[in-house]
Amino acid sequence: MNPSPRLTLFIPNYNHARFLPECIGSVCRQDTKGVEVVVADNASRDDSLAVLARLQKRHRFEILRHPKNMGALGALNHFLAGCRSSYLLLLAADDKLLPGSLGKIILMMERYPEAGFILWNLLEL
């Protein structure tokens, strides 16, 4: 059995196919050792699943397919029941991580283990 990941990066998606390559690419170009990446598709009606399948050929991440749209928080709650990691990072499908930011986020999570929630600056694209 694989050890529990240190961090799970959770990306809920609904009809954001056009943003997925940049979002997932920005995540997978980080140092993802000890990081589990999960994309939850909420019954998208665009070509999100096809885009995700193509991206899986280049990047390591898991796809959770929901037969109906549960909303971002519904998908997150469904996922949390089986989450094994110490930390959770929620990223929207139309967001991207700047180079090196994942390591900084993990460092802050480990430096302040008593914190229940960590926020960081966002850039609007």
Per-domain boundaries in the chain: 7-111
Average pLDDT over residues 19-29: 95
Other beta carbons within 10 angstroms of residue 72's beta carbon come to 18
Confidence of residue 122 (pLDDT cuts 50, 70, 90): low
The per-residue pLDDT for 82 is: 83
Architecture (CATH level 2) of domain 7-111: Alpha-Beta Complex (3.90)
Rounded Cα gap, residues 80 and 99, in angstroms:
27
Beta bridge partners of 8: 36, 88
Beta bridge partners of 90: 10
Confidence of residue 2 (pLDDT cuts 50, 70, 90): low
- Mention every residue, 6+ apart, whose C-beta is less than 8 A from residue 100: 30
